Amino acid sequence: MNQDTALEMERIIRSQPYAGEFQELLLSFVAEKAKERGSWSDIVRCVHSLLEGSCPQIEGIAAAAELAVLASDIMDDLQDQDQSDKLWMQCPAAHALNGVVALMMCFTGGLGACGLPSADIAEAGRIISRSLQGQFLDIRNAAETPDEYLQLVQEKSGSVFQLMVHLGCAAAGAGGRQRELLLDLADCAGLIHQIQNDLRDITRLGQKNDVLLKRKTLPVLYLLSLSDEWDFRFFQQYYRGELDWEEFLQRTGDYEAFIEASGCQEYSLVVQGLCVDRAVELMEQVVAPPSKKEQLKEFMYGAFVRE
């Protein structure tokens, strides 16, 4: 993360009436987040620049966006009980949960201090609520079909990209067709990245992963639709609770053969490719200098474009 962004996040936290141990806890969470490569706030700045914005408070808005993402990351890790090396997973869960609420208050307070209109702050809240809806469905493992799962991902992951786009548009005072295109592009980006995560996780049996947690991701749903017919019933049996994890691991070779024979990875890549094609189509319709569109593409989906 850009060091200036981390410093601005710290400034926003210090501007709130947090003190002592609690303030230090929040600042430690920011320091932990700052170690990560990449930055969501880059999308906020990029959209603002692409739309020829000149908001003097863009850095404060970008930092506030990072605080919202940090709160979301902490909540996600607490729900999944993974990322044990993160500071928020090493403190009492009640402290981390209090931190999530505090960071979201910093987010809204930070936006207000930057002078964003109340309607734009309200819309940011609506987008976050959409993400929470998707997160809840994900926790419940509610998706039973690929279409349901893709809708869930748009709500959960696409909304994070949408929040960055919305804040960049709001800072630039932009709306209309340009904003609609960029929000649709954000949903595509969420799908592209989540499918990539799903593909990576489907083969990682040696550590905490989607299969261990019986998550119904895109490749898993595809496997579940086949296993009864393909004489790989052990996979369905595990998801129904008829096999425990240790019994499942004894069939690792069968599982790897199932993955290879099923075409689940190829299927997921096709779906991802369609999302990439849609993202390219949407980007072509955005009216902006090619160099700025190229920069936004790199932040959102550039690594997945087939040359």
Q: Please write the tens of the pLDDT for every residue from 57-115.
A: 999 999 999 999 999 999 999 988 878 899 999 999 999 999 999 999 999 999 999 99
Q: What is the predicted pLDDT for the residue at 205?
A: 79
Helix (DSSP H) and strand (DSSP E) numbers for the chain: 16, 0
Euclidean distance between CA atoms 63 and 65, whole angstroms:
5
Q: What DSSP assignment string belongs to 10-34?
A: HHHHHTSS--HHHHHHHHHHHHHHH
**Residues whose CB falls within 8 Å of the CB of residue 253, separated by 6 or more in sequence, listed in order:** none
Among candidate residues 125, 113, 122, the one with its CA nearest the CA of residue 59:
113
Fold of 3-301: Farnesyl Diphosphate Synthase (1.10.600)
pTM for this one? Answer: 0.94
Report yes or no: 74 and 49 within 8 Å, Cβ to Cβ: no
Q: What is the predicted pLDDT for the residue at 305?
A: 82
Q: Which residues of the chain have pLDDT under 50?
A: none
- 252 CB neighbour count, 10 Å cutoff: 11
Report yes or no: 202 and 211 within 8 Å, Cβ to Cβ: yes
The two tokens of residue 117 are 């209109």
Output helix, strand, coil percentages for the chain, rounded to the nearest 5. 75, 0, 25
Q: What is the predicted pLDDT for the residue at 190?
A: 97
| DSSP state, residue 302 | G
Report yes or no: 99 and 74 within 8 Å, Cβ to Cβ: yes
Q: What is the predicted pLDDT for the residue at 270?
A: 97
Euclidean distance between CA atoms 172 and 268, whole angstroms:
36
Report yes or no: 274 and 218 within 8 Å, Cβ to Cβ: no
Q: Please write the tens of the pLDDT for every residue from 207-238.
A: 668 898 899 999 999 999 987 777 788 999 99
Euclidean distance between CA atoms 169 and 172, whole angstroms:
5
Residue 211's SS3 state is: coil
Distances (CA, A) of 256 to 156, 158, 169, 204, 241: 29, 30, 45, 10, 20
